[in-house]
Structures are given as structure tokens and as C-alpha cells.
Amino acid sequence: MRERNWTDCPCCGAKGAMRRQSGQTERFNPAGYAPVEVDGLDGSFCTSCGDGFWSLKSERRISSALAEHMAGQDSQRIVAAEIASVKEAADAMHITVQGVHKMMKEGRLRYVLAAGHRLPIRMYMTPAHAGEAAATHTGR
């Protein structure tokens, strides 16, 4: 996917209103989880309506950070029966073990942290969830 260089705002239509901003910190409120702040973000934002987009690199950073944040909380409340091994996830999703690790790291497969290891959450281990990532469109 190529980075898009915004000039006019695609949300409110303001001409030439999009500005690149870096070093941003954004607070996220994932439903059912404590809020989390992610720093070091960059993207393009509208000077008129405040809406905007993160860069692709920042989107990946956000997905990864949110997944790890939620994993920390899920480790406290998800029971062992809901947690699978990486091998089980690979079989269920028809991908490699390496693919499962990559998806968890990128936040595309939900997991818990157990003794420093990422373990997949069973209910998300379906091929249908394979492309699902955290919402990264943002409002200001």
C-alpha cells in the first residue's frame, strides 16, 4: 500500500487544509479496556475539522501497541480454556507458526501475555478474522 499525500481534506472538503504532523501522542479508548496512550506518531490532519489519518507506519505502531495493551489486561481475565497454543492457531487459520507470531505482533490476532509469551485467544483464531485490525481512523 502506498502512502497517500493529502492536500484537500477528504472529510470536510477544506482545500489545502491537510498538514503533516509528527511526534504526536494519541490517547485510545478501546471498548472494555483501560485507555492507553501511544506516542511517536505521525500523520496528516485537517486544520479545519481536525480529522485526519495516521501514516502507515504509525497505523502499524498503533495496532501493535493496542494489541499488547489489551493482551496485558486479558491475561488477568481470560481463562485457560480460551487460550490456544501458537501451533493450534496456525492449524485453525491455515497459516504458518511464523505467520501467527507476526499477526500477534502486528495486532492482527488478539492474544494474551503468559510468562512473557504471546498466546492466541481461541475465539479470534478463524480465517475470517485474519484481516481484522484495530480501527485506526481518528478524530481530533
Least distance to Zn ion from the beta carbon of 139, Å?
10
Q: Give the range of 1-9, 26-34, 59-67, 123-131 binding Zn ion by CB under 5 A.
A: 1-9
Q: What secondary structure does DSSP assign to 27-84, as a single string?
A: EE--TTS--EEEEEEEEEEETTT--EEE-HHHHHHHHHHHHHHHHHHHHHH--GGGB-
Interacting residue with Zn ion among 30, 49, 92, 105 (CB under 5 A)? 49
Angstrom distances, CA of residue 45 to CA of 17, 51, 58, 62, 110: 8, 6, 13, 17, 29
Total length of the chain: 140
Least distance to Zn ion from the beta carbon of 24, Å?
17
- Told to check if 121 binds Zn ion by CB under 5 A, we report no
Query: 19-48: which residues touch Zn ion (CB under 5 A)?
Result: 46, 48
- Told to check if 11 binds Zn ion by CB under 5 A, we report yes
Contact residues: Zn ion, CB under 5 A: 9, 11-12, 14, 46, 48-49
